[in-house]
Structure formats: C-alpha cells, structure tokens
Amino acid sequence: MQIEKTMDKVISLAKRRGFVYQGSEIYGGMAGVYDYGPYGVELLNNIKTSWWKEHVQTRENYFGLDSAIFKDPRVWEASGHTKGFADPMTECKKCNTRIRVDKELARIGVDADEKMSEAELQELFDASKSKIKCQKCGGGEFGAVKKFNMLVTSNLGDFTGTGENPVYLPGEACQGIYLNYKNVLDTTRAKVPFGIAQIGKAFRNEISPRNFLFRTRELEQADTQYFIKPNDNKENYERIKQERWNWYLSLGIKPENLRWHQHERLVFYAKDAWDIEYNFPSYGFDELEGIHDRTDYDLTQHMKYSGVDLNYADPETGEKYIPWILETSMGTGRAFLAVISDAYTEDELNGEVRTVLRLSPKLAPVKVAVFPLLRNKPELVAKAREVYMMLKPYFSTEWDDNGNVGKRYRRQDEIGTPWCVTIDFDTLGESPENKDTVTIRDRDTGTQTRMKITELASYIRKGVE
Ligand code: GAP
C-alpha cells in the first residue's frame, strides 16, 4: 500500500497520542517551546539512554558530566557568543513578520557569510529584494537589516532591577564541558586523548522558531567533546563521524534517510564542520547533528579570560599543550523527530488500514501491553493482572481492557508497542494443553503465537536487546 508520509501526520500523531504538547498550551501556546507527554518522555529517555550507553558506559576513556545551566557571564564573552552569536533579521513592513535574512537569501540561492556586517548584509539584501516576498503576506517592503544576538538573559543574583548585569542562559550546552575539563583531568584517570559527554539544555532566541521540534527556543543537546593532541585531528575526526552515523543506524533509522553535509561557511569556533542530515517528511534533508573540529579555540579563550592555565602536561613526555577538541552535538528534539518520523508507517493488515510506529523495541515507550480478552470476566481479569504485575517491574508495561482486542491492537500500534499479550479462556485451562499460556502478538507482522507465561519475560528481554 502506497501512503504519503507527511510531517502533518507525524505531528498529529505525536499530539493526539501524548508524545508532545505545545508549551503553555492552556494560555494559547508559547512559540518554540514544547513539553513531552507520557509516551514522549519515555521515547526521549530511551534515545538518551542509548546515546549515554554508547558514549559513556561502554567506553573506557569517556567521562560523563552534568554541568549547571547558569555560568559566569564571562564564559559567554570568552566563547564569543556575546558578539558572534547573532542572526540577521528584518521585518515585513506590511504584516510585521520577522524574517531571517540569511535563510531568506539562501532560499533564492544567495550566500550570506555569517561574518558579514549589518551594512554588508543590507547591501546584499537590497540587491536581491526584487526576488524576495514575505512568506506570510506576500509583501515586498522590509525594514533595516539588524543583527540580533540569540543569547537569552536572566537576572539571576542581580537585585539592582536595572538588567545591566545579565547572566546568560547557555547558547550551547558544551561550554559546561570546557569549564570542567581541568576538574575531570584532576579527579579521574583521564589522559589525552579522552572525551567528556553531557546532555544539557540550551536556549536560543530564535527569530523564527519553526517546524515543530526542529527549531525551538528551548532545546537540549547531547554533546561529546574529544580532547586530543594538536594535529591529531584527521583520523580521529573521521572515526568519530563514522561512529555517530552508525549510532543512528543502531536506532533503526533507514540509511537512505541520512546524508552528510560539509559546511562551507564555518561558524566562528570551527575549522571543519560536517552535519549529519535527516530526510524529514515534508521538510526534506536538514541538520540533525553537527560534528565540529574546534581546534584549541575554546580552551585558549577560557585560559585567556579566566587566567587559569588550561595546558595539559603529558605524564609520559612532560610536553605541555592546549588540547584540540573534536565535538559532536545532537539536538535531542531533532533526534526524537527523526526517530518518530522514520518509524511512522501506514499499512494494511487483515484488510484494515492502520497507523503503526515501527520503532526499534529498545526505543519503544511501551514494550508490552497486557489485555484480558474480556473485561467483564473476573477470572480473566485476575489472571491478566497477575501477568501484568509480573512484567511491570522489568519492562514498561501497559494495561488495556477497553474495547475489543482489535481496537486495543490499533492503539498499541500507534504508539509503537512491539508486543501485545492476551489472556484468554485457554490461559485458564479451557483447553488443558494450553493452560498457563497466552497469545503474544507481533506489532510488525500482526502474527500471534502461543507462549507459556513463564517464557514471556525472557522472550521480551531478548527482543528488546
Ligand atoms: N556546540 C555546538 C553547537 O551548538 P549547533 O550546530 O549550533 O552547534 C548543534 O547545534 C545541534 O543542536 C544541531 O545540530 C541541532 O541538532 C541542535 N539545535 C541547534 N539549534 C536548535 C534549535 N533552535 N532547535 C532545536 N535543535 C537545535
């Protein structure tokens, strides 16, 4: 059966089935902010757990970290964000819609360099103006091009009420890793080369948050920073790129939906930058993760601004140097959107069209659902509760006794539950050879097999692993 997979369908499922809610929805919703609902938080946590396992728990030379959101304001001066973290913006004079100038220029094939001044951008924009129309109202008159800094500020610890001493929220989560590089070295057995991994929040005053979880103002980044000897970047960079690609495949993402993109215009901290892009339904290929060769930029800057010596002393040779850094940075919201989009399927099963999330079992928010065949037969319900309570401590398990079994299957298919277990009269011994067996139904094939209750847990564990 041929179906058209659209982002609207994916978003509708995500909202309808409690994966994702608009932030502050009862107040009309807040642009660029989303909340994860009961199934969403399970799926997101499973993605993060898989990432953490890959980058910390199964490695000898990577160390985990969870740094505070708030940092000394000088961090963001040292990192370059107070000056360089700005997007050029203009406004439609007719409907006041704010427009990202560089994105608008890129849409008509004009390349704007991020190092360009406001005046240079204005010139480029004016020269292309005849081809640019407001996407909302079709207007062709725009205000002056202004660079808008994306750092979000707070008044933490500032009681003057003037707003003159802002404490910034992180523009990128990775700065916490650089601040703790020396702490990790001093308190562990870390030796260059080694990595630090962190999943942390970042905040960006995006001019036009858009495309659901793709471009948000509050976001979360799963970062690794690999500290290497100067000039040891080439081979390590290639290896790290390949590892990140393979991790997406390990989540079950189809390889044809992934591709590489090398940056021509580099952000202020990078020497080389590659993105892994995902082919989002309706949106097309766009950035999922950035992999950056940051050289010694970050540690050199922090050494200069803090006055603390951040050189590494090689314990064997005594050689001193500032390590170079190779970074991988993935937005967990974008990974979530890629995973759910990739898994979204509509197919026909037993003559009925169904929507099914073909999630890898290790990511599925619910691993197994348990049903009594009929809800009004106490002996079936009691046996089914027994099976449910037996599985629940070990797997995310859902109880459902509402409606006919076919409907319950459809509900579980929509949230990607790999297995549904039904307790029927045979379980109770109506046909003695089947006593204490249940049917277990496979999400992808729809086939049902009989299995002893005592074998269920090991079958599910094997399937998840
Ligand atoms: N520390 C490097 C860094 O922050 P980036 O390319 O700006 O690099 C890394 O961001 C990743 O964070 C992106 O590949 C994307 O997955 C995610 N990301 C960035 N901005 C985002 C936004 N506004 N909304 C959601 N995810 C975002």
Each residue's pLDDT, cut to its tens digit, for the chain (465 residues) gives 667 899 999 999 999 999 999 999 999 999 999 999 999 999 999 999 999 999 999 999 999 999 999 999 999 999 999 998 898 999 999 999 988 898 889 888 888 877 788 999 999 999 998 999 998 899 999 999 999 999 999 999 999 989 888 999 999 999 999 999 999 999 999 999 999 999 999 999 998 898 999 999 999 999 999 999 999 999 999 999 999 999 999 999 999 999 999 988 777 778 899 999 999 999 999 999 999 999 999 999 999 999 999 999 999 999 999 999 999 999 999 999 999 999 999 999 888 899 999 999 999 999 999 999 999 999 999 999 999 999 999 999 999 999 999 999 999 999 999 999 999 999 999 999 999 999 999 999 999 999 999 999 999 999 999
Q: How far is the CA of 250 from the centre of ligand 1 (A)?
A: 22
Task: Count CB neighbours of 441 within 10 A.
Answer: 23
Q: Is the CB of 329 under 6 A from ligand 1?
A: yes
Please tell me the distance from the alpha carbon of residue 423 to that of residue 439, in angstroms, as a whole number: 7
Tracing tokens 């079936």 back to the chain, one arrives at 380
Q: Is the CB of 289 under 6 A from ligand 1?
A: yes
Copy the structure tokens of residue 335. Answer: 């990974």
**Core vs surface per residue 396-416: b (16+ CB within 10 A) or e:** bbbbbbeeebeebbbbbbbbb
Q: Is the CB of 87 under 6 A from ligand 1?
A: no
Phi, psi of 157 (to 5 degrees): 70, 5
Task: Count CB neighbours of 109 within 10 A.
Answer: 8
Contact in structure between 125 and 107 (CB atoms under 8 Å)? no
Q: How far is the CA of 208 from the centre of ligand 1 (A)?
A: 15
Q: How far is the CA of 171 from the centre of ligand 1 (A)?
A: 9
pTM given for the model: 0.94
Nearest protein Cα to ligand 1, atom 5: 290
Q: Where are the beta strands (DSSP E) in 263-393?
A: 272-280, 284-295, 312-313, 320-321, 324-331, 344-349, 352-357, 368-372
Nearest protein Cα to ligand 1, atom 14: 289
Q: Roughly how many angstroms between the first and final C-alpha of the chain, as a whole number?
A: 30
Handedness of CA 42, 43, 49, 50 (dihedral sign): positive
Q: Is the CB of 169 under 6 A from ligand 1?
A: no
Instruction: Kindly give the number of the ligand 1 atom that is closest to the alpha carbon of 289.
Output: 14
Please tell me the distance from the alpha carbon of residue 117 to that of residue 103, in angstroms, as a whole number: 16
Contact in structure between 366 and 74 (CB atoms under 8 Å)? no
Instruction: Kindly give the number of the ligand 1 atom that is closest to the alpha carbon of 209.
Output: 23
Tracing tokens 């169904």 back to the chain, one arrives at 354
Nearest protein Cα to ligand 1, atom 4: 172
Question: Looking at the DSSP assignment, which residues form a beta bridge with residue 147?
Answer: 88
Using CA atoms of 158, 161, 162, 163 in order, give the dihedral in degrees to the nearest 10: 50
Nearest protein Cα to ligand 1, atom 18: 331
Q: Is the CB of 290 under 6 A from ligand 1?
A: yes
Q: How far is the CA of 181 from the centre of ligand 1 (A)?
A: 22
Contact in structure between 20 and 333 (CB atoms under 8 Å)? no
Q: Is the CB of 174 under 6 A from ligand 1?
A: yes
